[in-house]
Amino acid sequence: MLGQGSLDAYFWIGTAVMLFVIFTSLFVFVFYYYRLNKVKSDFSDELLRVSLEKEQQERRRIASGLHDSTSGTLAAAKNYVEILYNKEQDEDNKKMFELVEKALSEIMKDIQSTSAHLMPPMLETLGFMAVVKDYIGKVQELHPDIKFQEDYKLQELPMATASAYELYRVMQELINNIIKHSEASQVKISLYKQSKSFVLEVIDDGKAYDFNKEAKISQGMGLKNITSRLRKIKASLKQIPNRQGNKIQIHFKSN
């Protein structure tokens, strides 16, 4: 039989060891878990950065291919058709050439628009604001049933082109979603400075939705892409409760 003193010692040492083991395990577990999570998150951020960069490169390649090569070839084809038109005596054939020329002009216009959509050429030369205004103007032409209002408190965004490009894509995705799903009749796009950061605000009077909830359950890539692009430029999205429709704010800092 153990004496009271030995039992006491076993009890206190045993309890101390158990406490030490459990608290140390807990500490090590929490510490390594967060560390591993950070590594995983850094890795996925890097993957995201690379994939967005690749996407941008590919867009640029296709856009310049369409603009420089395909448009060039079509312009040459149009010239040949014009020459043939001038040489042609037969009126029926002349009409055919006219139609071909018209079709070629339409194709060139479409290519120009697709190329600009893929990679806005003005972003590097004229800046973010010019691209946004141009885009909203085109969207307004295509959707006269929706009234687009613009309210820009800034002349230009002090932002690197790469970040401005991501912001532009986010805005484009938000507008596309409104057109496709919200059945809105009015959309307001604002850009202003709020203390040390900038805010791009898109308000619509269409069907209300919960951005975060939809981004989680949605099968499409639109909302997920918005989240990814915002993470890339370290911007945040806030959905402000609105009496009718949706109010989305993108908060970002200049870089």
Query: Exposure string (b/e) for 154-180, b if CB count within 10 Å is 16 or more?
Result: eeebebeeebbbbbbbbbbbbbebbbe
Burial class of residue 119, CB neighbours in 10 A (0-12, 13-18, 19+): buried
Q: Which is nearer to other proteins, 8 or 98 (CB)?
A: 8
**Two tokens at 55?**
């996407």
Question: How many degrees, rounded to 5, is the angle at CA 53 between CA 49 and CA 58?
Answer: 150
Q: Which residues bind other proteins (CB under 8 A)?
A: 2, 4, 7-8, 10-11, 14-15, 18-19, 21-23, 25-26, 29-30, 32-34, 36-37, 40
- Beta-bridged to residue 201, according to DSSP, are 190, 249
Shortest distance, position 31 Cβ to other proteins, whole Å: 11
Shortest distance, position 216 Cβ to other proteins, whole Å: 13
Instruction: Give CA–CA dist 242/149, Å, rounded.
Output: 17
Residue 146's SS3 state is coil
Burial class of residue 21, CB neighbours in 10 A (0-12, 13-18, 19+): exposed
Q: Which is nearer to other proteins, 7 or 154 (CB)?
A: 7
Shortest distance, position 25 Cβ to other proteins, whole Å: 8
Shortest distance, position 33 Cβ to other proteins, whole Å: 6
Shortest distance, position 214 Cβ to other proteins, whole Å: 18
Q: Which of 75, 86, 252 shows the shortest CA–CA distance to 163? A: 252
Q: Which is nearer to other proteins, 2 or 142 (CB)?
A: 2
Shortest distance, position 47 Cβ to other proteins, whole Å: 15
> Side chain identity at 169, as an amino acid letter?
R
Q: Which is nearer to other proteins, 18 or 83 (CB)?
A: 18
Residue 105's SS3 state is helix
Q: Which is nearer to other proteins, 36 or 75 (CB)?
A: 36
Shortest distance, position 215 Cβ to other proteins, whole Å: 15
Q: Which is nearer to other proteins, 3 or 144 (CB)?
A: 3
CA 10 to chain centre: 64
**Which residues lie below 8 Å from residue 105, measured CB to CB, with a gap of 6+?**
78
Q: Which is nearer to other proteins, 14 or 72 (CB)?
A: 14
